[in-house]
Structure 1
Amino acid sequence: MFGRSKDQGPASPTTPTPEDEVRAGKGRPTPRRKVAESANRRPLVPADRKGAAKAARLEQRAARDRQYQALQTGDERFLPEKDKGPVRRYIRDHVDARWNLGEMFLPVALVMLVLQIVLAQVNPNAAFVVLIALYAFSLVMLLDAYLMWRGLKKRLGAKFGEHVVVRGTAMYAVLRVFQIRPSRLPKPQVKHGQYPS
């Protein structure tokens, strides 16, 4: 009942093929632990420490030079991780194409502070008015940055999908708004008014 069928003959021995041997094992004995560890052993400190340190410094300098060139030209391959990707490029291009009040904050604040110091000696009331004007400019500038982000967020959602607006995306855009245009890194690749499609 459970045995072999009587009409079958004896099973003929099969010779293993090379493919079967490869599947069955590696075809050589397992090396002893001492041999395997000695084969994997490498020195923690290279024999020529000065030469290795010099080579590492040269490699780091070359990497920094590549990154600096990428920040000037916008080459995606060598940009820092925080600036890589089509979403970040789109944010940069949108901010750089727009006239922002934030990029004028430092020059305006410097002029108003000097004006306040000068007027404080002559007319304290006029100096107070200049200070209030600086605060008013700051509030309008923050409102402008908020409106910029609302418009940019809608564009990002329409172009890339809602999932791309992750934590840190708004801060990336707003921090770029408050930088003076010539000091922005990566350098602006578009002119004012050339919004990305």
Structure 2
Amino acid sequence: MFGSRKTHEDAQSSDKQPVNDDAARADPAPQREAEQKKGRPTPKRSQQESVRRQPLVSKDRKVANQKAKEAQRKDRDRARIGMMNGEEKYLTRRDKGPQRRYVRDYIDARFSIGEIFIPAAILILVIAFTQPVQIQQYFTYAVWGLLVLIILDGFILNYILKGRLRAKFGEMERGLTFYAIMRSVQLRPLRMPKPQVKRRQYPE
């Protein structure tokens, strides 16, 4: 009786013993088969996390983008300076062509009555808010007189330019009259492209 009871207790204690660690580990055979199929070993978790932490855009690409933006900015600055200086390849379609360059040079060489229109208009606005009504009326008449002079100056300018352009180029392009008048009423420092001639330095 005692012997059989002892044998039964030994069997129960052997059942309660912890399973060997080596036996508890998963069979590495499926993992080796997966690695053979992929042709490379399965990366460790730490390696996968390090890959995920890397930036989406590489440093070389960032540097290349920065250089491209810097080159574009320099090109824009060069084009702006070229347009202001009247370089033909940087001019807009409105300003391109030898006849339009001739018109610009002629307008910039002469004094046009239209140049004083903007300063006069600003002066009238100031007077309208600061002076009595009687004085405002006098300045209103002065503005109308200035407009009449600007229109007469435009007719004279158009007549002179037509003769000069036909003598130099044989014919006159369409739209040059409006182009010349619009430039003549602008203040000289604000004209674009910038004047390339001095006063009374008329083109031949």
Give TM class, smaller chain. Answer: 0.5 to 0.7
Write the deviation string for residues 62-101 of structure 1: whole angstroms up to 9, x where unpaired: 4432221112322222222221221111000000001001
What amino acid maps onto 1:101 in structure 2? I
What residue in structure 2 maps to residue 154 of structure 1?
163
Tell me what 2:201 maps to. Answer: 194
Where do residues 116-127 of structure 1 align in structure 2 (5 Å cutoff)? 116-120=128-132, 124-127=133-136
Please tell me whether the aligned partners of residues 96 and 191 of structure 1 are also in contact (alpha carbons under 8 angstroms). Answer: yes
Written as runs of structure 1 = structure 2, the 5 A alignment for 1:14-33 is none
TM-score, length of structure 2 as denominator length:
0.63
Runs of 4+ in structure 1 off by over 6 angstroms are 49-56
Q: Identify the residue that residue 103 of structure 1 maps to in structure 2.
A: 115
Using the TM superposition, give the Cα deviation of residue 52 of structure 1 relative to its aligned residue in structure 2, in angstroms: 9.4
Q: CA deviation at 1:54?
A: 6.7
| Amino acid paired to 1:149 | N
Question: What residue identity is the alignment partner of 2:84?
Answer: Q
8 Å Cα contact 1:153/1:165 also seen in 2: no
User: How far is the alpha carbon of 1:140 from its aligned partner?
Assistant: 0.9
| Superposition CA RMSD, Å | 2.3
Determine if contact 1:116/1:128 at 8 Å carries over to the other structure: no
The change in CA–CA distance for 1:125 and 1:150 in structure 2 (over 3 A counts) is: same
Normalising by structure 1, what TM-score?
0.65
Q: As a proportion of its length, which structure holds more helix?
A: 2
Question: Any conservation in 2 of the 1:157–1:165 contact (CA below 8 Å)?
Answer: no
Per-residue Cα deviation, 1:7-63 (whole angstroms, up to 9, x for no partner): xxxxxxxxxxxxxxxxxxxxxxxxxxxxxxxxxxxxxxxxxx999987875565344
Q: Is 1:92 matched up with 2:104? A: yes
CA distance in 2, matches of 1:185, 1:61: 21
3-state DSSP of counterpart to 2:194: coil
1:1-197 map, 5 Å: 60-120=72-132, 124-162=133-171, 164-166=172-174, 168-197=175-204
User: Deviations 1:130-170 (Å, cap 9, x if unpaired)?
Assistant: 111111111211211221111111111110012x321x211
- Name whichever of 96-105 and 60-69 sits farther off: 60-69
In structure 2, list runs of 5 or more residues that go unmatched. 1-60
* Percent identity over paired residues: 42
Unaligned runs of at least 5 residues, structure 1: 1-48
- Paired residues in the alignment total 145
